[in-house]
Amino acid sequence: MTCRRFSLPLSTPLSTAAGTIEHREGFVARFDHRDAVGIGEATPLPGWTESLDECERALETALETYTEDGHTAALLELDANTVPAARHGFATALLDADASADGVSLAEWFDADAGSGSVPVNATIGDGTVDETVEAARSAVADGFDCLKLKVGVGELATDLERVHAVRAAVGRDVTLRVDANGAWDRTTASEAIDGLAEHGVQYAEQPLPAEDLAGHADLRHRGVEIALDEALRTHTAAEVFGSDAADVLVLKPMVVGGPGNAHTLAMRARDAGIEPVVTTTIDGAIARAAAVHVAAAIPAVRPCGLATASYLDEDLIDDPVPVTDGRITAPDGPGLGIDPDEVSP
């Protein structure tokens, strides 16, 4: 196994709770296993995963363990709770090689009935004025998206509700609307928001309350708008979330949960608990995006996922293997990830 470091500039700086990000930095892993070559990507995101330095140290330790004790011991060395991005990189390369050796796509490796693996995706509409929001929504619908997720919670609730109302009026009732508050509201504001969003036929509100408040999220359910949890998986175990009665939808980021295998397992466990899984990226490079698409493609009748994120990058590791066409992404053909390892610079 080998690793190389990369840095991908963003098309527009990204503001997060941990600061402004201008580049996505990480590591490409290359792994020889079962007479096949697998590739993976470890791209940590501050505030969501370990730091870049922690990721590098974890990968170095895994490499040493692999040399001495093999791939199983090396994978066990990478704790999904502390170094999820590093584990994602190693696990993806291993899965890519395994699926390639078996002659199936990664989606088919997860689920033999995955088939061609076409996945519906949502467009994300950032915070902006009412006119800017409507213009972005109309543009997304014209590009073939029939599901839009609006960022809310930055400004006043009244303004957000006005934006949602204006978008609904502009795109009609056939387009699915979602909102994402990133935990910005308190209980009183969130309660008022749910009532207002229900009037406009919003499908779900993502993380309306802080991640710690599972009980508050449970109280918001069954009022006409589904409750989706995302950041909650950073502060609670999946078992705690499943047992809390706090979610209708669970947003899964493979880079955050320790790899595509973990993400698919959690998706199936969520389904068993009556919770709908949605797969998203953390603005990753092409390898991790492809892996996330395979995960989503292996979830039967998956809802629109947050995988249309290539445009956030000004440069990428390779030409986009998972482009959006009319609001859908198809998992790449071919075994494993469907990416030729030789296309990725060593």
Over the stretch 84-133, which tens digit does the pLDDT of each residue have? 999 999 999 999 999 999 999 999 999 988 766 799 999 999 999 999 99
Same structural domain, 92 and 143: no
Distance CA 317, CA 325 (A): 20
Beta pairing partners, 27: 5, 42
Same structural domain, 159 and 264: yes
Active-site pick, 71, 87, 88, 151: 151
Q: Is residue 262 part of a domain?
A: yes
Q: Is residue 346 part of a domain?
A: no
Q: Is residue 94 part of a domain?
A: yes
Query: What size, in residues, is the chain?
Result: 346
Same structural domain, 98 and 226: no
Domain final residue, candidates 103, 132, 164: 103
Q: Is residue 344 part of a domain?
A: no
Distance CA 272, CA 345 (A): 41
Assess whether 253 carries a catalytic annotation.
Answer: yes
Same structural domain, 130 and 193: yes
Beta pairing partners, 49: 46
Domain final residue, candidates 69, 103, 137: 103
Same structural domain, 129 and 45: no
Over the stretch 260-296, which tens digit does the pLDDT of each residue have? 999 999 999 999 999 999 999 999 999 999 999 999 9
Domain final residue, candidates 51, 75, 103: 103
Same structural domain, 98 and 134: no
Residue reference for tokens 């892993």 = 29
Q: Is residue 222 part of a domain?
A: yes
Single pTM value for the model:
0.96
Same structural domain, 15 and 143: no
CATH number at 69 reads 3.30.390.10
> What is the domain extent for residue 180?
118-339
Assess whether 149 carries a catalytic annotation.
Answer: no
Q: Is residue 345 part of a domain?
A: no
Q: Is residue 130 part of a domain?
A: yes
Over the stretch 6-59, which tens digit does the pLDDT of each residue have? 999 999 887 655 567 899 999 999 999 999 999 999 999 988 999 999 999 999
Same structural domain, 204 and 269: yes
Predicted pLDDT of residue 117 = 76
Distance CA 64, CA 1 (A): 10
Active-site pick, 236, 253, 264, 303: 253
